[in-house]
Amino acid sequence: MRDIWIGENYLSAERSVLVLGESWYGETQDLPEFIRGWASRKVRDMSFSKIFNTGSGMHTTKSTPEDRLRFWNQIAFYNFVPGSIAEGRESRSKNEHFEAACEPFKSVLKQIEPHGVWILGIGQAKYSQPIVEAAGIAHEVAPYPTTRGLTREVLQSSWHALMGQIR
């Protein structure tokens, strides 16, 4: 599937984590291809870099492509609102986008059965968090990684809290 990343080791991971993004901007790309491109440094993406830095405990500037891919191969990633919502980041997902995303997200949860979900984005959490709770899955909500003024400590605290829930 082009809208979801399921790492090669996700299904065998002791603690399978779904990282739930919000939406895609601009021309949509095949997500597995995009992540492989990011891991090999052919593509830059600040959100994926911050997710990697937080979840791996490493830093993108000091990591090898193998380090990057090793982390991503242990998790799954899905944008709550599939497809592109607009050309640029100045546009934001709207309530109708979030409402339309609920049923597809329920299907994703059933398909990949994560032990935990790291929900990134306060706005989409109003819609995604109740679904995760109803499924009985551990979760944490954090601001989107590229939120202005967001500190690394806030993301790390949220990630570690999730890891603590699914030990």
Q: How many other CB atoms are found less than 10 A from the CB of residue 92?
A: 13
- 3-state SS string over 143-158? CCCCCCCCCHHHHHHH
Sign of CA dihedral 152, 157, 163, 167: positive
Tokens 């996700």 map to which residue? 10
- Kindly state the tokens that stand for 97: 């986008």
Phi/psi of residue 138, nearest 5 degrees: -60, 145
Higher pLDDT pick, 91 / 141: 141
The whole-model pTM stands at 0.90
For 111-163, the pLDDT digits (tens) are 999 999 999 999 889 999 999 999 999 999 999 888 889 888 999 999 999 99
Per-residue pLDDT band at 167 (split at 50, 70, 90): confident
For 46-65, the pLDDT digits (tens) are 889 999 999 999 999 999 99
For 13-29, the pLDDT digits (tens) are 889 999 999 876 656 67
Per-residue pLDDT at 82 exceeds 80: no
Per-residue pLDDT at 108 exceeds 60: yes
Residues 6+ apart with CB under 8 A from 155: 50, 54, 142, 145
Per-residue pLDDT band at 95 (split at 50, 70, 90): low
Q: How far apart are CA 113 and CA 111, in angstroms?
A: 6
What is the model's pLDDT at position 28?
61
DSSP letter for 89, please. T
3-state DSSP assignment of residue 82:
coil
Closest CA to 140 of 98, 35, 156: 156
What is the model's pLDDT at position 40?
95
Higher pLDDT pick, 127 / 97: 127
Query: With 0-12 CB in 10 A as exposed, 13-18 as middle and 19+ as buried, what is 134?
Result: exposed
Domains of the chain: 4-165 (3.40.470.10)
What is the model's pLDDT at position 87?
53
Task: Give percent of the chain above pLDDT 90.
Answer: 65
What is the model's pLDDT at position 134?
97
